[in-house]
């Protein structure tokens, strides 16, 4: 009985990687083929019947193309570097402090804020007619009408970088928190402290070198997202010219269908820019390692302590405050009647906006919930299967395999999703729930993997060996030993998966032919109508589901493991 059980389990587990590859590679490659063919002039339905480089020539001649490329590249790298620096300095300066505990509590609501909602909130906070200016007007600033300064939308993309950083800090923090126990951070830090190192220095010299490899993939995902995202750039980025990704979306949506050729070439270029940004980051990593290695052992106990803790604390709280104030602004807008400048508090407050939205809100919430649960459960099972198969085979996946997993995160969605719709039409797959679930999985699965992989791999193999020594097969060892030990990271990974699924716009719209109405599709189509009050209502509703998911992810292990406190750290 035990033997049969074992072989079924092993066979199922060995199936998981193949299934995962199929699920991730097939759509992206087919979608990219759909983009690559028109990029080289091939799209018979629009009269493109021979291969040519004309789309690339017209792309190169597009006014402002150099600025677009530079903007995508720099905002992607700078925002990631800033976010990472903030997280590292904060962890170094405040580990174990009261501030640390507080931020941990704030983390789940902060993570749950959808990117577009954060961007809308931030734009309202910092714009000349925004909440910040209203608070000082007219008393301090003297303005009775909004001043005319260019922010957000500044040509250097500073507002865009700020918007990306406030969303990336919570994500990287979450990733670091789940990785810290895996590299014995506390032991390392305590040892360094006992040797007289100041806290930030202790963290930088003793913990970071072993922490960074664990959060490297999440950092890469952040770079890819930051250099190719559309919604944040559309709201906070400059418009003359915008980033390349925004232009790709505009060109793909241009009524002049012959623009599709150039748009496809631009989509492939976007892929190139993202890869270039990743390559640059890799070079930076090498350079820093080369410069820093001698310093790690130079014995100095106080390098950068004062500055580090000041910056780490200050910038972390600044980004948390910005995000919090953005949410407060959204909440006020959802309750506002006409709210003119310079009043900083809307009067009268009204529930009319919520009342207008309510009839549509409930069905959209249910659709969103089922989609997110289905996609997350499927993705989590496959990810656990892949990782378990690694464990059974005693070897971890190579660089090529890692690339496969992150393919959907590295390739800009606009590039392959239209090609994917083509494939869907070709195979006569009716648009609907299952197709959209699979489409969501493309983006959910890599993030679940990202969140879970390191914890899973770092799990001490001796636990399994002990279980085997006690006569348990791999299935029993998995169910009774590994799964409970990994409950907290699995719950966190699922919560990340739910948040990712809830935020999906293009896959839901394109693969479902718009027939599935989710909170995000409603929010985006309402946002296109410019009604900030209704948009705020939907953005807040959009935030509730993932926030619930994160609360469960943190609460559930606490309840189940209340007798095993060491498992919670």
Partner 1 sequence: MTTPFSCRHPLAARGVTGLPGAAFALGAVAVLGLGMPAWAQDGASPLNQPWQEVEQQARGQTVYFNAWGGDPNVNGYLDWVAGELERRHDIDLVHVKLDDTAAAVSRVLAEKSAGNVDEGAIDLIWINGENFAAMKDNALLLGPFAQRLPNFALTSPDANPEMTTDFTVPTEGFESPWGKAQLTFYYDSERVEAPPTSMAALLDWTKQHPGRFTYPLVPDFHGSTFLKQALIALVDDPAMLARPVGEADAEAAMAPLWDYLDALHPHLWRQGRDFPASGPALRSLMGDGELSLAFAFNPAEPAAAVNNYQLPPSIRSYVLDGGTIGNVHFVTIPFNASHQAGAMVTANFLLSPEAQARKQRLDVWGDPSVLDLARLDEAERQALTPMDDQPARLAPQALQQTQPEPHPSWMEAVEAAWLERYGSR
Question: Does the footprint of partner 1 cover residue 128 (CB under 8 A)?
Answer: yes
Question: Does the footprint of partner 1 cover residue 402 (CB under 8 A)?
Answer: yes
- Only one of the segments 35-43, 84-92, 197-205, 365-373 lies at the binding site for partner 1 (rule: CB under 8 A); that segment is 35-43
d(CA 199, CA 196): 9
365-404 b/e with 16+ CB inside 10 Å = b? bebbbebbbbbbebbbebbbbbbbbbbeeeeebeeeeeeb
Residue list 521-540, contact with partner 1 (CB under 8 A): 521-522, 524-534
d(CA 503, CA 411): 17
d(CA 78, CA 72): 10
Tokens of 371: 């989609």
Cβ 543 to partner 1, closest distance in Å? 20
Rg (CA), the chain: 25
Cβ 266 to partner 1, closest distance in Å? 14
Three-state SS for 485-496 is HCHHHHHHHHHH
Q: In the set 2, 5, 8, 45, which binds partner 1 (CB under 8 A)? A: 45
d(CA 504, CA 442): 11
Question: Does the footprint of partner 1 cover residue 7 (CB under 8 A)?
Answer: no
Question: Does the footprint of partner 1 cover residue 469 (CB under 8 A)?
Answer: no
Give the number of C-alpha atoms closer than 13 A to the C-alpha of residue 197, restricted to the C-beta side: 25
- Only one of the segments 107-115, 207-215, 400-408, 481-489 lies at the binding site for partner 1 (rule: CB under 8 A); that segment is 400-408
- Among the listed residues 287, 282, 225, the one whose alpha carbon sits nearest the alpha carbon of residue 72: 225
- Only one of the segments 168-176, 294-302, 394-402, 551-559 lies at the binding site for partner 1 (rule: CB under 8 A); that segment is 394-402
Q: In the set 4, 63, 142, 291, which binds partner 1 (CB under 8 A)? A: 63
Q: In the set 119, 233, 375, 421, which binds partner 1 (CB under 8 A)? A: 421
Cβ 150 to partner 1, closest distance in Å? 5
Residue list 349-388, contact with partner 1 (CB under 8 A): 350, 352, 356, 360, 386
d(CA 40, CA 351): 53
Question: Does the footprint of partner 1 cover residue 26 (CB under 8 A)?
Answer: yes
Percentages helix, strand, coil for the chain (3-state, rounded to 5) are: 75, 0, 20
Cβ 153 to partner 1, closest distance in Å? 4
Q: Residue 42: what are its φ and ψ, rounded to 5°?
A: -105, 105
Q: Residues binding partner 1: what is the number (CB under 8 A)? A: 97
Residue 294 or 400: the one with the smaller Cβ distance to partner 1 is 400
Residue entry with tokens 């490329």: 69
Cβ 63 to partner 1, closest distance in Å? 5
Residue list 302-341, contact with partner 1 (CB under 8 A): 336-341
Cβ 44 to partner 1, closest distance in Å? 4
Contact (Cβ atoms closer than 8 angstroms) between residue 458 and residue 393: no
Q: In the set 132, 275, 344, 513, which binds partner 1 (CB under 8 A)? A: 513
Q: In the set 4, 44, 290, 471, which binds partner 1 (CB under 8 A)? A: 44
Residues 6+ apart with CB under 8 A from 359: none
Contact (Cβ atoms closer than 8 angstroms) between residue 259 and residue 59: no
Neighbours of 519 (CB within 10 A): 26
DSSP 565: G
Question: Does the footprint of partner 1 cover residue 561 (CB under 8 A)?
Answer: no
Question: Does the footprint of partner 1 cover residue 146 (CB under 8 A)?
Answer: yes
Residue 440 or 532: the one with the smaller Cβ distance to partner 1 is 532
Residue 159 or 547: the one with the smaller Cβ distance to partner 1 is 159
Question: Does the footprint of partner 1 cover residue 426 (CB under 8 A)?
Answer: yes
Q: In the set 379, 404, 435, 459, which binds partner 1 (CB under 8 A)? A: 404
Cβ 356 to partner 1, closest distance in Å? 6
Cβ 242 to partner 1, closest distance in Å? 9
Cβ 207 to partner 1, closest distance in Å? 30
d(CA 76, CA 227): 4
Question: Does the footprint of partner 1 cover residue 428 (CB under 8 A)?
Answer: yes
Give the number of C-alpha atoms closer than 13 A to the C-alpha of residue 541, restricted to the C-beta side: 27
Question: Does the footprint of partner 1 cover residue 389 (CB under 8 A)?
Answer: yes
Q: Residue 342: what are its φ and ψ, rounded to 5°?
A: -105, 25
Question: Does the footprint of partner 1 cover residue 153 (CB under 8 A)?
Answer: yes
Question: Does the footprint of partner 1 cover residue 395 (CB under 8 A)?
Answer: yes
d(CA 319, CA 314): 9
Cβ 321 to partner 1, closest distance in Å? 22
Tokens of 260: 């599709």
Residue list 220-279, contact with partner 1 (CB under 8 A): 234, 238-241, 250, 252-257
């Amino acid at each position: 009985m035990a033997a049969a059980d074992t072989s079924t389990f092993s066979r199922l587990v060995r199936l998981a990687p193949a299934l995962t590859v199929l699920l991730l590679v097939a759509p992206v490659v087919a979608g990219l083929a759909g983009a690559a063919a028109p990029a080289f002039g091939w799209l018979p339905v629009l009269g493109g019947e021979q291969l040519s480089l004309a789309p690339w020539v017209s792309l190169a001649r597009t006014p402002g193309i150099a600025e677009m490329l530079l903007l995508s590249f720099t905002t992607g790298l700078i925002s990631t570097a800033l976010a990472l620096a903030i997280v590292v300095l904060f962890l170094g300066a405040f580990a174990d402090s009261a501030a640390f505990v507080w931020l941990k509590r704030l983390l789940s609501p902060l993570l749950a804020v959808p990117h577009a909602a954060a961007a809308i909130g931030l734009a309202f906070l910092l714009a000349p007619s925004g909440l910040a200016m209203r608070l000082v007007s007219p008393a301090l600033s003297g303005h009775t009408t909004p001043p005319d300064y260019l922010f957000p939308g500044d040509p250097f993309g500073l507002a865009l970088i700020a918007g990306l950083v406030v969303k990336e800090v919570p994500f990287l923090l979450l990733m670091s928190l789940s990785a810290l126990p895996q590299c014995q951070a506390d032991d390392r830090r305590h040892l360094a402290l006992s040797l007289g190192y100041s806290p930030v220095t202790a963290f930088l010299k003793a913990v970071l070198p072993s922490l960074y490899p664990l959060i490297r993939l999440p950092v890469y995902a952040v770079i890819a997202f930051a250099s190719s995202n559309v919604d944040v750039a559309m709201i906070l980025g400059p418009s003359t010219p915008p980033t390349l990704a925004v232009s790709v979306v505009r060109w793909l949506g241009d009524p002049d269908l012959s623009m599709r050729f150039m748009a496809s070439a631009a989509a492939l270029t976007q892929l190139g820019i993202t890869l270039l940004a990743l390559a640059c980051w890799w070079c930076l990593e090498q350079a820093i390692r080369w410069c820093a290695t001698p310093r790690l052992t130079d014995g100095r106990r106080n390098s950068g302590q004062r500055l580090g803790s000041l910056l780490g604390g200050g910038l972390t709280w600044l980004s948390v405050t910005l995000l919090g104030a953005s949410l407060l602004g959204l909440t006020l807008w959802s309750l506002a009647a006409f709210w003119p400048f310079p009043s900083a508090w809307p009067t009268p407050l009204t529930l009319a906006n919520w009342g207008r939205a309510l009839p549509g809100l409930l069905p959209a919430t249910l659709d969103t919930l089922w989609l997110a649960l289905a996609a997350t459960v499927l993705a989590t099972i496959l990810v656990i299967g892949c990782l378990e198969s690694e464990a059974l085979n005693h070897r971890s996946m190579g660089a090529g395999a890692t690339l496969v997993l992150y393919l959907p995160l590295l390739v800009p969605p606009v590039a392959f999703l239209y090609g994917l719709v083509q494939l869907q039409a070709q195979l006569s797959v009716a648009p609907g729930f299952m197709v959209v679930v699979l489409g969501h999985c493309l983006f959910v699965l890599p993030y679940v993997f990202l969140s879970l992989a390191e914890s899973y791999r770092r799990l001490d193999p001796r636990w399994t060996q002990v279980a085997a020594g006690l006569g348990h097969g791999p299935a029993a060892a998995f169910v009774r030993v590994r799964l409970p030990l990994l409950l907290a990271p699995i719950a966190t990974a699922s919560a990340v998966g739910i948040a990712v699924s809830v935020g999906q716009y293009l896959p839901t719209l394109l693969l479902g032919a718009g027939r599935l109405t989710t909170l995000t599709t409603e929010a985006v189509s309402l946002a296109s109508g410019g009604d900030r009050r209704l948009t705020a209502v939907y953005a807040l509703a959009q935030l509730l589901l993932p926030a619930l998911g994160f609360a469960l992810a943190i609460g559930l292990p606490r309840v189940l493991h209340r007798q095993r406190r060491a498992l919670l750290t």
